[in-house]
Structure 1
Amino acid sequence: MMDRPVGVIGAGRVGTALGLALVRAGYELVGVNARSEASRQRAADVLPGTPLRDVPTLAKSAGILLLSVTDDAIGSVAAELADGGLLQPGQIVLHVSGACGLAVLAPATEAGAVPLAVHPAMTFPGLPTDADNLAGLAYAVTTRPHDRPLAEELVRDVGGVPVWIADEDRTLYHAALVLGANNLITLLAAAMEALMAAGVPDPGFVLAPLVRASMENALRHGDQALTGPVRRADVGTIEAHLRALRDRAPHLLPAYLDFGLNTARRSRRAALNEAGRLDEVIALLEARSAEARDDIDR
């Protein structure tokens, strides 16, 4: 694979980081196509010295075309490449979307290209250091069966571990990452906001050990790692939390109710407490959720 030069179309966060990782692994990067000022600046920051090229030039000179564009644009870029007669048989066209599979690359596939969907399971803030985090990651890979060796070689060249995801499972895979990563940030930001409202000057310092331990326990033990007043069915404490949030941080009350309900239902399903006691918690949280919705509607 290393004898195939790489061209990056679109200077998205994941694609530029992966492009840099490929260069470090020994691949030749022949250019980047970046249309917006923001993407040109990202290319300059992450891939300094890499020439900016138009799409036809990249397509002619690259054996691997890495599409680092928005999910909605992948299909149109693939069609542009195919309709323009810019692809060669056996040329690899690869996108880095977590949610999309091979269908968006259908025009390129029909033109004889090899379609790959390769998504590193990591967050990318768009920094030059993003590529440093790519080794050792799981990469969600979707390919045609006979193309697996190509994808596996590419992933292992950058130090990754391929995890094979069926085309039809790709969206569910990505939804799982949103639940576990994006929503976690929202939850922690809300927790820090509540701590600041309680007069804690450095909420990150307070939360960090607790969150890290909870995350490690959850990854090892799943629902069995649950602790706290919902699992204990401590109705009095939950009622006190709801009053405090309603009085001091009412905009955070819906999140507490929603997560509390999910926790209570998972605790009941996993038999972490007596079903009757957890049913009492569920009934309380459902009633308060209905009241909160009515308040919003009014």
Structure 2
Amino acid sequence: MTQSQRPGRLGVGIVGAGRVGAVLGSALRSVGHTVVGASGVSEASRDRIEALLPGVPVLEVPEVVRRSQLVLLTVPDDALADLVSGLAALGAWQAGQIVVHTSGRYGTDVLAPAAAGGAIALALHPAMAFTGTSLDLARLEGAAFAVTSAPMVAPIGQALVVELGGEPVVLDESRRGLYHAALAHASNHLVVLLAQAAQALGVAGVEDPGRMLAPLVHASLESALRAADVGDAAQPPSAGDPGAIAALTGPVSRGDVGTVREHLEVLADLAADEDALDVVESYRALSRAATQRALGVGRIDPDQARALLDALNEPAPPEDRS
């Protein structure tokens, strides 16, 4: 029996062939589903369809939905609600049709207009960054997917995730916003933090900041992830849980106020010369958070924490405009 002859194979439509949609469509195709159409307005989207979904027709959104048993909505968060309601106004949704969106922000409430037409609503968010290339297909293996749905259709969502090679993690509708904020805080802000560190190293004369940062950052990340792996998502670690901050090193964890003050001084100089005020403010904000967590687990005492916070809260010296 070929993959396309296996039971439960679906005709899949991709609405929004961006980085996520084209990759997931390709992954579903590889396990025997048929991609019946994809929508893509930009040249980049059409290029992705050609590269990852060769032979799949590029269609208008209503036609993609009309042809599909499984509709994959992979559009920006802010466009999702209007898209779903607009298609409902056209009478596009079909009874028994599976409608999946991949937004981390939303659960299935945003799909209510489709569900009112008899569609099966699923929210499946892959917790990974996409490049929009074939490299992502291998990275799907073992990736966590947040699955939100009505209980009776949850097995459908979980089965789709398993077919994609991922690991389904059931998430309540009311927790989607907090879940997505946590992922964005970790991933997006890590990128900003490393860009700031690389800028400072470059000004310090380091020719290859990435090479210098890599061993340190990889070790810190691995330690932090091990510490964060508490095995019970229902009871995450508190700020006072030693496991939550075990990976913290550096001057804050030692209560070295003098070192922190020197860091603030040199970063202020960097900001004055290199238009890098965001580096100073990030250092202050994250050092305050590190101070509170180090105090909570007893790495520093209240007097050390107070001295650190005093230093971190001191106003920056006025910029010399002469």
Match status 1:19 vs 2:25: yes
CA distance in 2: counterparts of 1:101 and 1:127, whole angstroms: 26
Preserved contact between residue 197 and residue 249 of structure 1 (Cα < 8 Å): no
The equivalences for 1:225-244 within 5 A come to 225-244=247-266
In structure 2, the residue matched to 1:99 is 105
Q: Structure 1 stretch 85-94 or stretch 166-175: which is displaced more? A: 85-94
1:155-177 C-alpha deviation (Å, 9 max, x unpaired): 00111110111111101100000
Amino acid at match of 1:227: T
For structure 1, list consecutive stretches of 5 or more residues without a partner in the other structure. Answer: none
Match status 1:128 vs 2:134: yes
SS of residue matched to 1:118: strand
Amino acid at match of 2:219: A
Candidates 280, 284, 295, aligned match of 2:311: 284
Match status 1:270 vs 2:297: yes
State, as a whole percentage, how many aligned pairs show the same letter.
Answer: 43
SS of residue matched to 1:43: helix
Give the 4+ runs in structure 1 shifted more than 3 A.
Answer: none
CA distance in 2: counterparts of 1:269 and 1:51, whole angstroms: 57
Q: CA deviation at 1:46?
A: 2.7
In structure 2, the residue matched to 1:148 is 154
CA distance in 2: counterparts of 1:207 and 1:36, whole angstroms: 36
Amino acid at match of 1:213: A
1:211-266 C-alpha deviation (Å, 9 max, x unpaired): 01101111112311111001101111111111211223442211211111111111
Q: Structure 1 stretch 177-186 or stretch 50-59: which is displaced more? A: 50-59
In structure 1, the residue matched to 2:235 is none
CA distance in 1: counterparts of 2:146 and 2:305, whole angstroms: 37
Using the size of structure 2 for normalisation, the TM-score is 0.87
For structure 2, list consecutive stretches of 5 or more residues without a partner in the other structure. Answer: 1-6, 228-243
Candidates 252, 256, 260, aligned match of 2:287: 260
Preserved contact between residue 94 and residue 117 of structure 1 (Cα < 8 Å): yes
Q: CA deviation at 1:48?
A: 2.4
In structure 2, the residue matched to 1:246 is 268
- Matched residue pairs, number? 293
Q: CA deviation at 1:129?
A: 2.0
Preserved contact between residue 9 and residue 32 of structure 2 (Cα < 8 Å): no
Q: CA deviation at 1:295?
A: 6.1
The equivalences for 1:56-67 within 5 A come to 56-67=62-73
CA distance in 2: counterparts of 1:246 and 1:124, whole angstroms: 35
CA distance in 1: counterparts of 2:14 and 2:98, whole angstroms: 12
1:9-37 C-alpha deviation (Å, 9 max, x unpaired): 11121121111111112211111011233
Match status 1:207 vs 2:213: yes
The equivalences for 1:177-192 within 5 A come to 177-192=183-198
Preserved contact between residue 87 and residue 113 of structure 1 (Cα < 8 Å): yes
CA distance in 2: counterparts of 1:248 and 1:77, whole angstroms: 46
CA RMSD, 1 decimal: 1.7
The equivalences for 1:20-169 within 5 A come to 20-169=26-175
Amino acid at match of 2:17: A
In structure 2, the residue matched to 1:5 is 11
Amino acid at match of 1:244: V
Using the size of structure 1 for normalisation, the TM-score is 0.93
SS of residue matched to 1:50: coil
Q: Structure 1 stretch 112-121 or stretch 264-273: which is displaced more? A: 264-273
Preserved contact between residue 268 and residue 316 of structure 2 (Cα < 8 Å): no
